[in-house]
Amino acid sequence: MALVAAWLPVIAVPFRDFFDFSAFYVAAHFIFTPDVIHLDPIIRAQAMAGLPISPYHYTPIFALLFAPLSWLPFWLAGFLNMALMFAALLLAAGLGARLFGLSRREAIIGALAWGPAANSVLGGQNATFALLLIVIAGVLMQRADLTGSRLSAIAAGVTLSVLAYKPQFGAPVAGLALLRERWLVVAATIVGLGAHYLIGVMVAGGNFAWPVDWLVTVSGTSSMDLKVNGWQAVSLPALFARVPLSPFGDAAPAGLQGLSVFGYVIAGLAILLCVPAMRNMPLPRALALSVSLGLLIMPQAWVYNATLLLPALAVLALDARRRGWPNEDRWMFVALYAAGLAWPLGGVIGFTSVLIVVVLMPALLVIGARSSPKPPTEMVPLDLTAPPLG
């Protein structure tokens, strides 16, 4: 039932012009020019082509990835983009199954039934691609920890630097590597970010100041984005930003509208309280917690970003299986997945139910780490070459 409810809206996607996909499709037509990260040229091109108006506010390198799709008719590119993002979700679930100790069947069904993940794929967004990169980085960091492989640590850092196409996606995992003193991962991430910048210079037509222009574009779209999409906010700063008490008014910098500062303070306190746990948890649980905390403090995060809660759901599912799936765990998962599917009701009530899941998830992960019996994989190194459990 959850699978059907999550993916039934696919019927309407072509009639809505693939929602946000036009931002990436049109931006790819501007690669190797400074306009690739400028607001007005892309919006004008969308309007002239009769496509949905969706600002592009990602780094230049991400537009480069969509270049092959930009050579195709829009409708065909839209279907292919959905297929690719769906494939990214399946691949992330398959890789994550081994990392988190689930069977592939459990992981894939759990991922497909999660409403925000379906929303990302069908809405022309890319959170499933970010999820795939996070899982790959987690697998590589785990392998580096267990085998001492320097190559795996370097590859994990390079993966995180690619994830910087949307910096708030990569920052939590990079912060986890720093917190756990994985210096080679951190160093590789820094070097990768330098390469990310240099490639961005090339894609932006030789504009060495493209990060400044990118920030201007993000700030220019932030207030309107909040007005249109604020009801589906899932982070605390985005929630408090809807309270219009900012002295800047509509001219507030991106992520600093309204009372968003209180959201940052509360989320920051939550992160500080979780730091000791993240230092000592097994890496898969710490990875899930860091991503959950990142989502909690992310500026203007909308419901599709909650795709990144899937690692946390995997950890909670493994905890429940160790306890024999008592009724309280069964009902908890019913509530979590129901909240994920009920997100469209936010357009009526003013906020999405996924916000509740985002706020509660760090506490569930920390409490679960204390109450769950120690499994064998937390007492001995995980054999990444062994077949998955189940």
Q: At residue 388, does pLDDT exceed 90?
A: no
Q: At residue 376, does pLDDT exceed 70?
A: no
Whether the Cβ atoms of residue 27 and residue 42 lie closer than 8 Å to each other: yes
Share of the chain above pLDDT 70, in %: 93
390 domain residue, yes or no: no
Whether the Cβ atoms of residue 390 and residue 102 lie closer than 8 Å to each other: yes
pLDDT at 347: 87
Range 279-300 average pLDDT: 95
pLDDT at 233: 95
**What is the total count of domains within the chain?**
1
Whether the Cβ atoms of residue 116 and residue 309 lie closer than 8 Å to each other: yes
**pTM of the entire predicted model:** 0.93
CA distances, 23 to each of 52, 138, 197, 286 (Å)? 8, 29, 21, 33
C-beta atoms surrounding 139 within 10 Å: 22
Whether the Cβ atoms of residue 233 and residue 217 lie closer than 8 Å to each other: no
CA 75 vs. chain centroid, Å, equals 25
75 domain residue, yes or no: yes
Would you place residue 165 in the very low, low, confident or very high pLDDT band (cuts 50, 70, 90)?
A: very high
Range 85-111 average pLDDT: 96
The CB-side HSE value for 194 (13 A sphere, CA atoms) comes to: 5
Q: At residue 384, does pLDDT exceed 80?
A: no
295 domain residue, yes or no: yes
pLDDT at 326: 95
Parent domain of 369: 2-378
Question: 123 by DSSP, 3-state: which?
Answer: coil
383 domain residue, yes or no: no
Would you place residue 111 in the very low, low, confident or very high pLDDT band (cuts 50, 70, 90)?
A: very high
Q: At residue 372, does pLDDT exceed 80?
A: no
pLDDT at 382: 46
Range 370-379 average pLDDT: 51
pLDDT at 373: 53
Burial of residue 204, with CB atoms counted within 10 A of its CB: 0-12 exposed, 13-18 middle, 19 or more buried? buried
Tokens at residue 156, please? Answer: 């994990």
16 domain residue, yes or no: yes
pLDDT at 378: 41
For the chain, what is the mean pLDDT? Answer: 92
Taking only the tens place, the pLDDT of each residue in 236-271 is 999 999 887 766 666 677 788 889 999 999 999 999
Report residue 193: phi and psi, to 5°.
-65, -35
Taking only the tens place, the pLDDT of each residue in 187-199 is 999 999 999 999 9
pLDDT at 300: 86
Would you place residue 219 in the very low, low, confident or very high pLDDT band (cuts 50, 70, 90)?
A: confident
Taking only the tens place, the pLDDT of each residue in 17-73 is 999 999 999 999 999 999 999 999 999 999 999 999 999 989 999 999 999 999 999
pLDDT at 379: 35
Q: Can you tell me the distance from the alpha carbon of 305 to that of 235, in angstroms, rounded to the nearest whole number?
A: 10
316 domain residue, yes or no: yes
388 domain residue, yes or no: no
The terminus-to-terminus CA distance of the chain in angstroms comes to 23
20 domain residue, yes or no: yes
